[in-house]
């Protein structure tokens, strides 16, 4: 996979990062190098490797799965800056 300059500008726009036109070729090279490294990682055979949560062997702390009483949805959203009924209201962030 290769990233072109239009894609670099689009990524910068979506990330809300101001990128100067003279920086686009440099960023294009960096993104292409990252993607090449990810492709190289995909070629590694990990079929015999078990999934792990840490590089250090350790037991996960578990708690009992039990239902607890809570104050209710209205109490939860009471301190929210904006809410409608029992839902949080947030600004739109997706185009």
pLDDT average, residue stretch 51-56: 83
Q: Is the pTM of this model over 0.85?
A: no
d(CA 95, CA 92): 8
What pLDDT score does 56 carry? 86
- 27: nearest Cα among 46, 3, 43: 3
Averaged pLDDT of the chain: 89
| Residue 1 DSSP SS3 | coil
d(CA 29, CA 25): 6
pLDDT classification of 35: cutoffs 50, 70, 90? very high
pLDDT classification of 1: cutoffs 50, 70, 90? confident
What pLDDT score does 25 carry? 94
Q: Where do the domains of the chain lie?
A: 5-42
């Amino acid at each position: 996979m290769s990233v072109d300059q239009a894609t670099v500008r689009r990524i910068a726009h979506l990330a809300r990062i101001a990128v100067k036109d003279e920086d686009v070729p440099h960023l294009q090279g960096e993104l292409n190098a990252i993607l090449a490294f990810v492709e190289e990682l995909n070629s590694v055979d990990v079929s015999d490797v078990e999934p792990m949560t840490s590089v250090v062997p350790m037991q996960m702390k578990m708690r009992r799965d039990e239902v607890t009483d809570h104050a209710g949805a209205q109490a939860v959203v009471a301190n929210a800056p904006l809410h409608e009924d029992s839902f949080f209201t947030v600004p739109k962030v997706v185009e």
